[in-house]
Amino acid sequence: MVFRDPWEQVLTSLGSNVQGTMPLLTQQIEADYDQYSLVASLDNVRNFSTILKAIHFQDHATCFATRNGIKVTVEKAKCVQANAFIQAGIFQEFMVHEESVTFRINLTVLLDCLSIFGSSPMPGTLTALRMCYQGYGYPLMLFLEEGGVVTVCKINTQEPEETLDFDFCSTNVINKIILQSEGLREAFSELDMTSEVLQITMSPDKPYFRLSTFGNAGSSHLDYPKDSDLMEAFHCNQTQINRYKISLLKPSTKALVLSCKVSIRTDNRGFLSLQYMIRNEDGQISFVEYYCCPDEVPESES
Amino acid sequence: MRCLVTGGNVKVLGKAVHSLSRIGDELYLELLHDGLSLRTVNSSRSAYACFLFAPLFFQQYQVAPPNQDPVRCKILMKSFLSVFRSLVTLERTVEKCCISLNGRSSRLVVQLHCKYGVRKIHNLSFQDCESLQAVFDPASCPHVLRAPARVLGEAVLPFPPALAEVTLGVGRGHRVILRSYQEEEADSDIRAMVTEMSIGKEDFQQLQAQEGVAITFCLKEFRGLLSFAESANLSLSMHFDTPGRPAIFTVEDTLLDGHFVLATLSEPDPQSQDLGSLQPCRPQPPLQAHSTPHLDDFTNDDIDSYMIAMETTVGSEGSRAPPLLSPGPQPSCSPGPNSEEDEAEPSTVPGTPPPKKFRSLFFGSILAPAHSPQGPSPVLAEDSEGEG
């Protein structure tokens, strides 16, 4: 039997299985896989929503799904781009029926829907999610279920926009540092926002790794020695001093707070890549990546 | 100059900066031979605070040689506070704090040496300044209360965070009473509740005040000092005189001392104080005072035109003064009539000029002994009878 109308579908399954918990969501739709170009379900919606929150600094995001998982991209001012990678393995079920599926969506609305049962649920209760997308022009359908209650959300999708290509290539990377996120968290939360830029110094010599701000009250520097216990890896080949707009980097604090490790890389053009490793509640790992253009060529001094 | 603070003392220093930041926007930093002094005064000059950290507080304390002027500078409170913003991380990660003055670049340099070898360097711009000095003498205050900060901290805990002023007084049986201070014209919703805490004299290490004395001062600044004193596990002394004269709050131990001087709400009729103190019955401040203020206000206004005064509100306030005011009747003792009175009050005092004033510490104290006319008393009596 094939249900055309998802509403009807859910109502029917509710009628037949009021007690339904997880099986309720998994049972339905099975018949009509072919109809969808993307079907994904997972037992704990927070494994998905948490990662999205880490890149939520603009209202709109572009979703790009392949067999391997979903990449969600957010951009601002053509200068910064954040990508969240949610591998297929995070989902209990993940099917992409085309080579790739791309759509643009209001991320704020998507996150609101994903936390429709509350963003901090009581311990022991999980919200399950099934997400279906029929293809170009169709809305993204979310079926959320907690304790036998099902919410269906339809979010209109938009024309996908071309995303920026930062052309950040690992062969061009000059300096690379991997830090335990703990060491950066405080630094980022206390950044002097009266400073227009955050200056990042990476060098094989002192001060090795330095974050500087130049605000109304004066300047601040934060130095990390290369032999610090926070430093997981230190591969710096030449001294680079680059400035980045602090307003563009500040949003990455969201990802930093969730992450356990962060890799900081700069390439030969001074472009910055921040990769955050985020461990979810089930111990699986996802990645969030930020790219940022340098602000200007810094003067030789300072 | 260079001073080095280590271990737990970094947090003590940070805590002191936090409590100072509740008062002023600028911090006066001075390296004296008897220690590092941090001072501030609020913009209306009704509150002043200073901490002095003895050289022993520091692991290293280098000042200018005795023949030179002490190093002093003025910096924005906000920028200094940002160095010590998170007390939790300060406690958890900071091992050393080094404060030095870089004359060449005109920067005050604060270096924090943290766990894992991380080093934070703040180069703060500063201004040269004169020494900030308030004139006050705790010894001249007839009334002294001293109690562990914890006791007072717990006593102010129930007060709503938005409460501006609190009245401290000594009631019957030498119980010390803290009461939320209500402004006459304030929203009736807020006025609907009066919070009063009463502390037995046995909780005080020193209690030198007659029954019936009371002063009203700003709670925010007081809380700042309290939270410092609580974290350092110190006792807090309160020295005060008649309403309108500044109250002096002090903490002290071998390595540091702190003084907060706060203006108190001026008493519309200081002379009636004696009467008030004779009358051991505990004040019911908000109840009584309503009717009296307007007559006194004229005198207050005259005086105030000579000084820098902070008018925290516009509007009629029966003003503090509760117990002290009423010469005769005691109806104030019964808490009952509260609501009735509130209703009655508007008609009693229509369009009264703002009587509630904090005097400047620096000028007010000189002019404080303003003598108000005895006029108000009869009015008071009438009203009181009416209530009763």
Complex confidence, ipTM? 0.78
**Cis bond before residue B376 (omega within 30° of 0):** no
Residue type, B91: E
Closest chain A C-alpha to B42 CA, distance in angstroms: 20
Q: Which of A19-23, A92-96, B198-202 has the lowest mean pLDDT?
A: A19-23
A72, A86 Cβ separation under 8 angstroms: yes
Chain B residues near any Cβ of chain A (below 8 Å): 75-76, 78-79, 82, 85-86, 89, 93, 107-108, 116-125
Q: Is A222 in the B-facing interface, judged by CB distances under 8 Å?
A: yes
Regions of chain B where pLDDT drops below 70: 184-192, 267-388
Residues of chain A contacting B117 with CB distance shorter than 8 Å: 224-225, 227-229
Q: Nearest CB to A217: which of B76, B85, B93?
A: B76
For position B150, what pLDDT does the model report?
A: 93
| Token pair recorded at residue A206 | 């002192």
Residue that the structure tokens 């008493």 belong to: B267
For position B336, what pLDDT does the model report?
A: 39
Query: For helices B376-387 and B293-304, what crossing angle results, to 10°?
Result: 140
Burial (Cβ within 10 Å: 0-12, 13-18, ≥19) of residue B46: buried
Q: How confident is the model at residue A28 (pLDDT cuts 50, 70, 90)?
A: low
| Token pair recorded at residue B310 | 């902070």
Cβ neighbors of A74 (< 8 A, separation 6 or more) are A55, A56, A57, A58, A60, A61, A62, A81, A82, A107
DSSP A163: P
Which residue of chain A is at minimal alpha-carbon distance from B122?
Answer: A220
Q: Is A224 in the B-facing interface, judged by CB distances under 8 Å?
A: yes
Q: How many C-beta neighbours within 10 Å does residue B151 have?
A: 17
Closest CA to B224 of B214, B236, B215: B236
Which residue of chain B is at minimal alpha-carbon distance from A180?
Answer: B116
Cβ neighbors of A41 (< 8 A, separation 6 or more) are A25, A26, A91, A92, A93, A94, A128, A129, A130, A131
For position B384, what pLDDT does the model report?
A: 42
For position A81, what pLDDT does the model report?
A: 95
For position B288, what pLDDT does the model report?
A: 33
Residue type, A105: I
The Cα A162–Cα B326 span in angstroms is 80
Evaluate the CA torsion angle B321, B322, B323, B329 in order and state its sign.
Answer: positive
Q: Nearest CB to B124: which of A186, A217, A229?
A: A217
**Residue B162 exposure: Cα atoms within 13 Å on the Cβ side:** 7
pTM flag (> 0.80): no
The Cα B196–Cα B163 span in angstroms is 13
Closest CA to A218 of B222, B73, B235: B73
Burial (Cβ within 10 Å: 0-12, 13-18, ≥19) of residue A81: buried
Query: At residue A62, does pLDDT exceed 90?
Result: yes
Beta bridge partners of A75: A81
For position A35, what pLDDT does the model report?
A: 85
Q: Is A185 in the B-facing interface, judged by CB distances under 8 Å?
A: no
Average pLDDT over residues A117-129: 83
Residue type, B58: F
Query: For helices B8-20 and B219-231, what crossing angle results, to 10°?
Result: 170
The Cα B109–Cα B100 span in angstroms is 5
